[in-house]
Chain A
């Protein structure tokens, strides 16, 4: 099946710093999602981004489907950005089932 690798596995930042999280996938995909799992365990949808670039406030994401990667940018990080960031792509020949990466654990210190 499709492999999804995220890097870095852990990241520690000071408040106000910028960061880039990467998601590589092993096969062609036609959609990709980024999620934030907050410290309470809730999975929050950040982006649905099959290709191109999207922005939402301090966060933006870029997917280059032809090169099989996606990037999540966090600018001017805040302590509330802490948590685990997952990317997920369709698997098993289906548009609907998702395979998740193992996530990037982000800690933003005040």
Chain B
């Protein structure tokens, strides 16, 4: 079955370290997204991609970067982790069919703690 996976599921790191969170989908979806979820804020969009070599900033992109070298993967990098980036991170994907149908499907999430 097609799915979307994230790794690691849990990560503890130290302030200032570079961290990369992986996201892999097997639906062959063009669109991929990264969100963070924090108490009181719901889910907020960090970065997104509409296809290979395409990346765009979302609502809360400072301190994060992404790259899209193939359809299946959109890794999220924290260049220099800060305590404010302690959060739960969700990856999502959707089709880009040219029509209106673009339901997003979410991965299981990565819980990141920055000490």
Contacts and interface: CB of A to CB of B under 8 A. Distances in A.
A102 B50 CA distance: 25
Contacts of A88: 43, 104
Contacts of A102: 40-42
A103 B41 CA distance: 9
B103 interface: yes
A38 B90 CA distance: 14
Contacts of B102: 31, 95-96
A59 to B, nearest CB: 16
For B42, B50, B92, B103, the residue with the greatest tally of chain A CB atoms inside 10 Å of its CB is B42
A40 B80 CA distance: 29
For A50, A96, A99, the residue with the greatest tally of chain B CB atoms inside 10 Å of its CB is A96
Interface stretch (A15-23, A41-49, A66-74, A75-83): A41-49
B48 A97 contact: yes
B45 A43 contact: no
A97 B40 contact: no
Contact of B58 (A41, A43, A50, A97): A97
Contacts of A99: 45
Nearest to A99: B45
Contact of A41 (B45, B92, B105, B109): B109
A45 B100 contact: no
A55 interface: no
B31 interface: yes
Nearest to B94: A96
Interface of B: 31, 33, 35, 40-45, 48, 50, 58, 88, 90, 92, 94, 96, 100-106, 108-109, 111
24 contacts: A33-B103, A33-B104, A35-B106, A42-B106, A43-B90, A43-B109, A45-B104, A45-B105, A48-B101, A50-B100, A86-B42, A88-B104, A95-B100, A95-B102, A96-B31, A96-B94, A96-B102, A96-B104, A97-B33, A98-B45, A99-B45, A100-B44, A102-B42, A103-B42
